Amino acid sequence: MAVNPNIKIVVADDSGTMRIMFKQILNKAGYENLVMAVNGADGLEKVKAEKPDLVISDWNMPQMDGLEFLQALRATDEFKTLPFIMATAQSDKGQQIAIMNAGGNGHVPKPFDEAQISKAIEIAFSAETADKAPVKKKRHVVGGRVELNVAHIQITDHLALGALKYRIDQGDVEPVHFDLTTSMKTGWNPIQEGLENGEIDCAFVLAPIAMDLFAYDAPIRLVLFAHKNGSTFIRSRHYDPRFDSLQSFYRYKVVDIPHKMSVHHMLAHQFLKELGLKPGVPGKKAINVRFEVVPPVKMPGIMKENEDVAGFMVAEPVATKAIVGEIGNLEFYSATRWDNHPCCIVAMQEDFIQKHPEAAQEFVSLLVETGEYIENDKIRAARIAVGFLDPEGKLGLNPQVLQNVFSQPKAIRWDGLYPVADDLDKIQKYMHDVMEIGRIIDLDRFIEKRFADKAYK
């Protein structure tokens, strides 16, 4: 359904940076008739005065948050059916359910792009529901090999998939049970949606995203860790040790993270908490360091232009490029706080595992073997990574930059990818008990170890 681009939209977000990003993204999507509000209370007044066609709101805001804003609109006859989209860092499934139960018409997790917000707007103006039931995918089998579609994003964390594809394309290995197709996504949200609705067979995805989906009965299983280590916390160049302590520098500032459900969020939270600070997302709780979710590739530019952003935590190669470009300085490598920690995992549809166990086994075994292949020749791996992660040259990657990434102390690793339940338990307990995010899941049910058991035997 095509939506009139001239509709009036009230956008509510208490972050100046995010209001700018909202405007840029909506303009790219073709929507320019925008009325900006700084929180839910301001948004409510703007709705009453402007009579918009649509509301897009953040959740975590002072005075009146997004959910209270939505509830206030639904309590009045005039705005009971006004289309309302929550575009927020509250990306876990439980929050999405709360939005729909309160009468929302859609949810777009941050970070999002113009395609994702356009899709949400179209759904909000139609009878379609944003939540699709899992689809039973018909997979083609040719010559005894089933198609296997594996999704990823443009980060070095996912190089094992790229290196395996390279080996297959070069004829170094020839799978017997599957034909590999890789699908590069623009961010975590399309991967999350594809895993949930069954459109993706398998994905390299942040562990807490997959765990949260599993907690709400998404039929997926973890079959392998995708890598270990590999993320970096970058501190703004505006830090001056002559005048600032780390505590005073980060207090009342912003720290950017790639996703709410991420190890980046957890490790950054731990670091700031140890400085004696109270990090979190804005809302009812008193905080003095604000987390904002933004696309990784935009983090350096945002920090360069905005002195309120004191740092960001991100996967490579974004962090190294920010240091080389003198946008920021190294605060810490993630492995110095937790050596050999998991981050992304390989999540596979339960339906694929049940119907094609030989293909699942072969894929996991080849990933394990390819991890060693990467570790044994980092120069070759850097060349492969450029072609896989930056095929159109938009990131400006080159083999030397990636060799520098791979040679960092306690750098990202692709060996020893066996899925250790205790590591995931450490993540889920800290996020649930300390950060009050997500649910505790049964890891014995979530982790399908048989393929890794055989691969590492």
* pLDDT tens by residue, 27-72: 999 999 999 999 999 999 999 999 999 999 998 888 898 999 999 9
Q: Are residues 158 and 243 in the same domain?
A: no
Domain count, the chain: 3
Task: Classify strands 106-109 and 145-152 as parallel, antiparallel or unpaired.
Answer: unpaired
Place of tokens 């206030």: 72
pLDDT of residue 294: 86
Q: Confidence class of residue 88 from pLDDT cuts 50, 70 and 90?
A: confident
**Burial code of 406-422, b = ≥16 C-beta within 10 A, e = fewer?**
bebebbbbbeebebbee
Show which of 97, 124, 151 is a domain's final residue: 124
Its sign, for the CA torsion 329, 334, 335, 338, is: positive
Q: Quick one: pLDDT band at residue 133, thresholds 50, 70, 90?
A: low
pLDDT exceeds 90 at position 129: no
Does 106 lie in the same domain as 39? yes
**Do the domain assignments include residue 181?**
yes
Are residues 385 and 261 located together in one domain of the fold? Answer: no
Q: Answer yes or no: is 131 within a domain.
A: no
Average pLDDT in the 303-320 region? 92
When mean pLDDT is compared over 103-107, 124-128, 266-270, the highest value belongs to 266-270
What CATH number is given to the structural domain containing 62? 3.40.50.2300
pLDDT at 12: 94
| pLDDT of res. 219 | 95
Burial class of residue 405 (count of CB atoms within 10 Å of its CB; 0-12, 13-18, 19+): buried
* Backbone torsions φ then ψ of 63, nearest 5 degrees: 70, -65
* pLDDT tens digits, 325-373: 899 999 999 999 999 999 999 999 999 999 999 999 999 999 999 999 9
Classified as helix, coil or strand, 378 is: helix
pLDDT band at 76 (very low <50, low <70, confident <90, very high): very high
Q: Which of 124, 155, 173 corresponds to the end of one domain?
A: 124
Residue 87's pLDDT is 87
Q: How far apart are CA 263 and CA 370, in angstroms?
A: 24
Question: Would 129 be classed as within a structural domain?
Answer: no
Q: Is the pLDDT score of 131 beyond 60? A: no
pLDDT digits (tens, 9 = 90+) for 220-266: 999 999 999 999 999 999 999 988 899 999 999 999 999 989 999 99
- DSSP β-bridge partners for residue 202: 150, 348
Residues 214 and 274 in one domain: no
Beta-carbon neighbour count of residue 358 at 10 Å? 12
* DSSP code string of 329-370: EEEEEHHHHSTT-B-EEEEEEHHHHHH-HHHHHHHHHHHHHH
Q: Tell me whether residue 270 is in a domain.
A: yes
Q: Report yes or no on 375 lying in a domain.
A: yes
Domain interval for residue 285: 231-337
Averaged pLDDT for residues 306-311: 94
**Residue 134 falls within a domain, yes or no?**
no
The whole-angstrom separation of Cα 195 and Cα 349 is 7
416 has a pLDDT exceeding 90: yes
Residues 216 and 162 both lie in one domain: yes
CA-only gyration radius of the chain, Å: 22
Peptide bond into 317 cis (omega under 30): yes
Percentage of the chain surpassing pLDDT 70?
Answer: 97
Do 298 and 396 fall within a single domain? no
pLDDT of residue 109: 82
pLDDT of residue 135: 58
* pLDDT on residue 397: 80
Q: What is the mean pLDDT of residues 165-178?
A: 97
Q: What number of residues does the chain have?
A: 457
The Cα 262–Cα 281 span in angstroms is 14
In a domain, 210, yes or no: yes
Query: Pick from 160, 135, 165: which is nearest to 149 by CA?
Result: 165
Mean pLDDT of the chain: 91
Average pLDDT of the residues in 148-153? 96
Q: How far apart, in whole angstroms, are the C-alpha atoms of residue 181 and residue 159?
A: 15
- Within this chain, do residues 220 and 345 fall inside the same structural domain, yes or no? yes
Q: How many whole angstroms separate alpha carbon 36 and alpha carbon 380?
A: 49
Q: How many CB atoms lie within 10 A of CB 101?
A: 9
Instruction: Say whether the peptide bond before residue 296 is cis (omega within 30 degrees of 0).
Output: no
Instruction: Find the CATH number of the domain harbouring 402.
Output: 3.40.190.10
| Contact predicate 189/240, CB 8 Å | no
CA 321 to chain centre: 20
Average pLDDT over residues 272-290: 89
Which residue stretches of 80-113 are H helix? 93-101
- What residues contact 302, with CB distance under 8 A and at least 6 apart? 17, 256, 294, 309, 312
* pLDDT value for 284: 59
Concatenate the DSSP letters of all residues of 402-432 into one string: HHHHHTSTT--B-S-----HHHHHHHHHIII
* H or E element at residue 1: none
Give me the pLDDT at residue 1, please: 61
Q: Which amino acid is at 249?
A: F
The answer to whether residues 101 and 117 belong to one domain is yes
Q: How far apart are CA 427 and CA 136, in angstroms?
A: 31
Which of 337, 353, 375 lies at the terminal end of a domain, its last residue?
337
* CA atoms within a 13 Å half-sphere pointing along the CA-CB vector of 125: 16
Question: Is the predicted pLDDT of residue 390 greater than 90, yes or no?
Answer: no
Determine, yes or no, domain membership for 132: no
Q: Environment class of residue 34 by beta-carbon count within 10 Å: exposed (0-12), middle (13-18) or buried (19+)?
A: middle
**376 and 237 in a common domain:** no
Q: Are residues 289 and 366 in the same domain?
A: no
pLDDT average, residue stretch 114-120: 89
In a shared domain, residues 240 and 313? yes
pLDDT of residue 132: 53
Residues 401 and 420 in one domain: yes
